[in-house]
Amino acid sequence: MTRRVPSHPAGTPERWTIGRLALADLRHEWILSLCMVLALAAILAPLLLLLGLKNGTIETLRNRLVEDPVFRELKPDGTLTLPDSWFAATASDPRVSFVVSTILRGSSIVRLAPEGSDRSEPLDLLPTAPGDPLLVENKTPIPGSGEAILSADAADKLKVTTGNRVELQVARVRQGRREMATQLLTVAAVLPPRADPLPRVYTTLPLAMDVENYREGLAVPTRSWPGGTPHAHQSFDGAYVLTRERIDPLTARTLTIGTGFTRMDPLPATSLAERTGIALPDGWGALTLEIVQNPVGWEAVRSVRDKLRGRNAIVIPFLHDSALQLDGAAVPVLGLSLSPEQTAALGLPEQPWGPASEARRFDDYARILLPRGSAVTGTVGVRLSMGGASGVTVAALPVRVDGVVAGPRAIVPSELLGALRTATLRQVVHDPAQGALLLAPAGYRGFRLYARSIDDVASLHRHLRDQGIETNAKVQAIERIRTLDRGLTRIFWLVAVVGILGGMAALVASLYAAVERKRRDLSLIRLMGLPPRSVFGFPVWQSAVLALLASGLAIGGFHALASVINGVFAGDLELGERLCHLPPSVLAGAASATVVGAVLASLYAAWRSTRIDPAEAIRVE
């Protein structure tokens, strides 16, 4: 069939001329063009639908994980002792969204009762703080002082709602008596059921720590809860046992049975003099009692004295390789708290503080005798070093210099030496009001930690394990979603590759057949003066137009089918969730890829069009 070449204004580029000719040819053969568009759309639409189902399903599951903070929580498997420095370092980790310390599991079980009611319920108490994802992401306020957040189950059991007041009841047994402390709290909010299915109450960290301290028998003055005071105990590494007569081996061996000491060795007089500067009188015997791991206290010393009752034994507790750091110098130290009779028997000068007494306050034994020539006077702060280690400085420890001694060693009360040894294990502070050394909190026993994203949970789990902290996290649930995503991606690309190759093969065959069928028409175009590069664009233009029309039809069909699928499963989805969905950027990318593929598929037909001889039109005529 002979067609009239459409006229075009002067100066129109050749590429536009061939483009207009290609479009005119598609309109002329509109039935064939429609069939090709439908064929391409039939390939592209199922691929878009499959990709939409994959993205929509994974996005729905992923959003449910992200929106539910439970999947980002890491819980410690056991009881820990963590310092403030660990929480500061963990909070600064970019993978961590929130971390707060918790209390012992046994201390966290409390009872709550509606105000004025005799009916109470046992609940698990958890501390919270600003930024807690469990509260913030469930649109629940952070409780302030005197407030609490209840889980849905806890509120249902107590029959209370937001704004009601409840009584917190903390029970303990101290010195054989059952005691209870109470605190009125206002219910600031109730968590939705999906946030926490267990009966729990969330309060401020200070209240949780007060509950733990009260459970441990301590007083909480800020809440008028009575209790004891955590006085610093005294601990030792061993003891020298001095007797007026040598102890027989059988009796000596009994000193390690039920006393806390695990090792006994005879001690020659020369060794005792080297270690302590004490010269044993003639006929006296000495031995050492030591421990393997944990230091012992005064109860071990008392047990040894009881076993040697009637032998006038002198038991002197000691520390291994210990020295006092004063003005940058290390001064060997010896702890002695002997009675006047004992010092006289050993030929030692009498100490100004007298025999040891566990009942003495710190201010009564915070005294020291320094070697002659020392320039330190008045009240000083001491630092104990052991075995070459730097030791621990007890802040604001007022130790008074009481005088000088002739030997090279500083002499301190045994009680002070034991208190300094404890300070190397636990932080202790001086309370001037009580004149006593008190134990500072040993650290926190656990944590509530939330990752910033579900993608950070696995790495945080490994990071904590490397620190020796085993945690319970939803690593497997998150990994299942990732595995599903990878599996669906492989299936999609497998189907997509097969469909794309089939579509490109069909397009190549169709365009090639069109070129062969229109050889006379294309030769006429060449005969009218258009160069080969213009004829090359004829199938390229047609393939691009067909791909655009097919992409539009496929995208329209995808939206229609996606609406049907989302409508069918609407009852199983949350507000805003879609089971089949693709963002506009993906749809635009799919259309662009289709056009590029179609153009590539037309290159062979375009090359064939340039091989047509213009003389073919003359020969046909």
Contact 508, 601 (CB under 8 A): yes
pLDDT of 618 > 60? The answer is no
Mean model confidence pLDDT for the chain: 80
Least confident of 90-104, 267-281, 365-379, 574-588: 574-588
What is the number of structural domains in the chain? 3
H/E stretch holding 2 reads: none
Q: Where does the pLDDT of residue 318 fall: very low under 50, low under 70, confident under 90, or very high at 90 and above?
A: very high
The reply to whether 200 and 302 lie within a common domain is no
Q: Give the closest residue to 276 by CA, choosing from 148, 407, 167, 156.
A: 407
Least confident of 23-27, 68-72, 122-126, 523-527: 523-527
Q: Which of 379, 411, 437 is the last residue of a domain?
A: 437
Q: Where does the pLDDT of residue 358 fall: very low under 50, low under 70, confident under 90, or very high at 90 and above?
A: confident
Q: Where does the pLDDT of residue 111 fall: very low under 50, low under 70, confident under 90, or very high at 90 and above?
A: very high
Q: Is residue 93 part of a domain?
A: yes
pLDDT of residue 528: 58
The reply to whether 456 and 508 lie within a common domain is no
The half-sphere exposure of 575 on its side-chain side, counting CA atoms within 13 A, is 0
The reply to whether 520 and 596 lie within a common domain is yes
pLDDT of residue 338: 92
Q: Is residue 2 part of a domain?
A: no
The reply to whether 397 and 251 lie within a common domain is yes
Q: Where does the pLDDT of residue 8 fall: very low under 50, low under 70, confident under 90, or very high at 90 and above?
A: very low
Q: What is the pTM of this model?
A: 0.57
Q: Is residue 303 part of a domain?
A: yes
Q: Is residue 110 part of a domain?
A: yes
The reply to whether 422 and 296 lie within a common domain is yes
The reply to whether 351 and 484 lie within a common domain is no
C-alpha to C-alpha distances, 149 to 115, 223, 362, nearest whole angstrom: 16, 20, 43
The reply to whether 431 and 306 lie within a common domain is yes
Provide the sign of the torsion angle of the four alpha carbons 530, 535, 536, 542, taken in this order.
Answer: positive
Q: Is residue 352 part of a domain?
A: yes
User: What secondary structure, in 3-state letters, does 372-415 show?
Assistant: CCCCCCCEECCEEEECCCCCEECCCCCEEEEEEECCCCEEECHH
The reply to whether 212 and 164 lie within a common domain is yes
pLDDT of residue 238: 93
DSSP symbol at 220: B
The reply to whether 100 and 185 lie within a common domain is yes
Calpha distance 20→483 (Å, rounded):
50
pLDDT of residue 3: 45
Q: Which of 457, 473, 489 is the last residue of a domain?
A: 473
The reply to whether 386 and 463 lie within a common domain is no
Q: Is residue 368 part of a domain?
A: yes
Contact 366, 398 (CB under 8 A): yes
Q: Is residue 248 part of a domain?
A: yes
> 18 is in which domain, residue-wise?
14-66+477-620
Burial of 237-258, coded b for 16+ CB within 10 Å and e otherwise, reads bbbbbbbeeebeeeebeebbee
**Plot region of 300 (φ>0 → left; ψ -120 to 50 → alpha; else → beta):** alpha
The reply to whether 419 and 451 lie within a common domain is no
Q: Which of 421, 454, 473 is the last residue of a domain?
A: 473
pLDDT of residue 1: 40
Q: Is residue 453 part of a domain?
A: yes
Interval 580-615: pLDDT, tens? 777 787 778 777 877 777 677 666 655 665 655 555
pLDDT of residue 67: 56
The reply to whether 164 and 308 lie within a common domain is no
pLDDT of residue 538: 67
Q: Which amino acid is at 443?
A: G
Interval 162-189: pLDDT, tens? 999 999 999 988 777 888 999 999 999 9
Structure tokens at 285: 């015997």
pLDDT of 14 > 60? The answer is no
The mean pLDDT of 500-529, rounded to a whole number, is 62
C-alpha to C-alpha distances, 140 to 35, 135, 373, nearest whole angstrom: 58, 5, 68
